Amino acid sequence: MKRFKDYDAFAWLYNREWTSFANNIFPALKTITGDNIPDKARILDLCCGTGQLAKILTENGYRVTGIDGSAEMLRYARINAPAARFLLRDARAFQLPPEYDAVFSTFDALNHILTIEELQRVFNNVNQCLVKGGIFIFDLTMKKHFEERTQDYEETVEKPDFLYYLRTEYDTEKRLNRWKCTVFQPAFSPENRTESRPVGKRWKRSEIQLSQTWYPEKDIRVSLKKAGFKNIKAYTFTPMHELVKATPGALRVFFYAQKP
């Protein structure tokens, strides 16, 4: 799985630095689902990353399966959410029996699917694994986010045991955002991998590059319909955390779709 090599390399940093989204998103998911998910429901966490949302879901009594294409992401997920089941699967190619009451895919995970044809395959796979009446909720960052938040973005973060430098390059014509991260970590002695201090002043440098794209809302709706979904809705949240109908200028949109 060459595509997931950078995600494997990124897993430890993601697990350290990008874990708060799950805590913020769970109340939003509850608001969007309303009463449409039964207690102890079976939930598929698609592109589950290092398992933060899976942890919250299991703690709330749901039976959770997580899917991700990165083995290293799943290694952390199994530690973070031991009550969940995790499977190494590509979102574009997985097949599961129709036993899930809901599928969630959060933190703009599906923005990493770079063509509408591949995204269509994801939607088809999700529909097939849902029970009748099951729901699919996912969020995507939209055009305005890429044009306003990823143009020439740079950030340097220094921690006691590592440092990383982030920058993004957005190609307007291709609708492609390249997210690049340079990480510096202490180089540890090969004779003692458990030692906590760097040897001298040696540091290890690594480079990670991930890509994302965005899709117009109408294309998402068409693809969901092609996959067999109905009752399709698009929401966004106001700065006061109020759930409202998505507008063309929304930075992030939550899509809701139901299997008839």
Is 2.20.25.110 the CATH number for 145-213? yes
DSSP readout, 47-75?
Answer: T-TTSHHHHHHHHTT-EEEEEES-HHHHH
Residue 244 CA, chain-centre distance (Å), reads 22
- pLDDT of 197 > 90? The answer is no
Q: Quick: pLDDT tens for 56-87.
A: 999 999 999 999 999 999 999 999 999 999 99
- pLDDT of 233 > 90? The answer is yes
Q: What local confidence, expressed as pLDDT, does residue 33 receive?
A: 93
**Separation of alpha carbons 71 and 64, rounded Å:** 18
Q: What pTM was computed for the model? A: 0.92
Q: Where are the domains of the chain?
A: 2-141+215-258, 145-213
Q: What local confidence, expressed as pLDDT, does residue 201 receive?
A: 61
- Look at the domain 2-141+215-258 and name its fold: Rossmann fold (3.40.50)
- If pLDDT is split at 50, 70 and 90, which confidence band does 151 have? confident
**Separation of alpha carbons 55 and 53, rounded Å:** 5
Q: Which of 67, 54, 12 is nearest to 185 (CA)?
A: 12
What is the average pLDDT across 111-119? 98
- Beta pairing partners, 255: 138, 234
- pLDDT of 2 > 60? The answer is no
- pLDDT of 200 > 60? The answer is no
- pLDDT of 150 > 90? The answer is no
Output the six-digit token pair for 225.
């319909």
- If pLDDT is split at 50, 70 and 90, which confidence band does 19 have? confident
- pLDDT of 97 > 60? The answer is yes
